[in-house]
Amino acid sequence: MNIDNSVVLSSLDGKNFKVNTQNDIKLKESTDAFESFLIKKILDISLKRENSIFGKDVGDKIYNSMYNDTMSRSLSGGFGFSQLLFNFLKEQQNS
- CB half-sphere exposure, 81, CA atoms < 13 A: 12
Q: For residue 81, is it within any domain?
A: yes
Q: What residues have CB less than 8 Å from 43, skipping those under 6 apart?
A: 68, 71, 72
Domain assignment of residue 44, given as a range:
9-94
Q: For residue 88, is it within any domain?
A: yes
Q: Which element (helix H / strand E) includes 26?
A: helix 22-46
pLDDT tens track for 36-59:
999 999 888 887 766 656 566 777
Q: For residue 57, is it within any domain?
A: yes
Q: Angle at Cα 21 formed by Cα 16 and Cα 24, nearest 5°?
A: 65
Q: What is the mean pLDDT of each run of 10 residues along the chain (95 residues)?
A: 43 46 90 92 80 66 86 86 91 83
pLDDT at 38: 93
Q: For residue 1, is it within any domain?
A: no
This prediction's pTM: 0.65
Q: For residue 22, is it within any domain?
A: yes
Q: For residue 65, is it within any domain?
A: yes
Structural domain count of the chain: 1
Q: For residue 3, is it within any domain?
A: no
Q: For residue 4, is it within any domain?
A: no
